[in-house]
Amino acid sequence: MTLYAAYGTNLDPARMGERCPHSPMSTTGWVTGWRLTFGGEDLGWDGALSTIVEDPIDQVFVAVYDVTKEDEANLDGWEAADSGLYHKLKVRVATLTGEVVAWTYVLDAYEGGLPSASYLGVLADAAEAADAPADYVARLRARPCRSTGL
């Protein structure tokens, strides 16, 4: 088992249960010194894709999952890590019981562009399902977005 920090749609335990049935959520926490942003607008089918970038004054809410090797391979496929769209990076996650090191996916594209309204809604719903603080979910819902797909 290895720890995975989900910040996007994989925050939703039900979604992760479908994608990685042998990998339960263990906790939630914050990746400090990073911020949620979007990029690769030309790579996504519906606008820009979520990613995180270093930012010394920000933090990103994450759900931490204990992922089996088999589920990790499945998740790499779901996240297009095997195609080079995302790559893996280790981050420190501050949880209520201490700090843990987990891997996460980072988009291999330039920052910029707007996500679709539907994608942003799915991200906010996923954060809510993972019990993210209400103000964090509200900030997600208030982000600028495309009103229609590409």
Largest Cα–Cα separation, the chain: 43
Q: Residue 17: exposed, middle, or buried by beta-carbon count in 10 A (0-12, 13-18, 19+)?
A: middle
**Domain annotation covers residue 6:** yes
Q: Assign residue 7 the CATH number of its domain.
A: 3.10.490.10
Indicate whether 43 pLDDT > 80. no
Ligand-binding site membership of 105 (annotated): no
**Domain annotation covers residue 20:** yes
Contact status, residue 72 vs residue 88, Cβ threshold 8 Å: no
**Domain annotation covers residue 35:** yes
Question: What tokens does 61 get?
Answer: 């809410």
| Digit-coded pLDDT (tens) for 106-129 | 999 889 899 999 999 999 999 999
Using DSSP's 3-state secondary structure scheme, residue 127 falls into: helix
**Domain annotation covers residue 146:** no
What's the mean pLDDT in 66-94?
91
pLDDT for 149 equals: 46
**Domain annotation covers residue 148:** no
What's the mean pLDDT in 60-64?
98
Domain range for residue 31? 2-141
**Domain annotation covers residue 78:** yes
Which are the contacts of 6, defined by CB distance < 8 A and separation ≥ 6? 16, 62, 63, 64, 65, 104, 130
Type and span of the H or E element at 141: helix 134-141
**Domain annotation covers residue 147:** no
Question: What tokens does 130 get?
Answer: 């993972």
Domain count, the chain: 1
Which positions are annotated as active-site residues? 79
**Domain annotation covers residue 149:** no
Measured between alpha carbons, how far is 2 from 100 in angstroms, rounded to an integer? 11
pLDDT for 148 equals: 60
Whether the predicted model's global pTM rises above the 0.95 cut: no
Q: Which residue has the tokens 């509200």?
A: 138
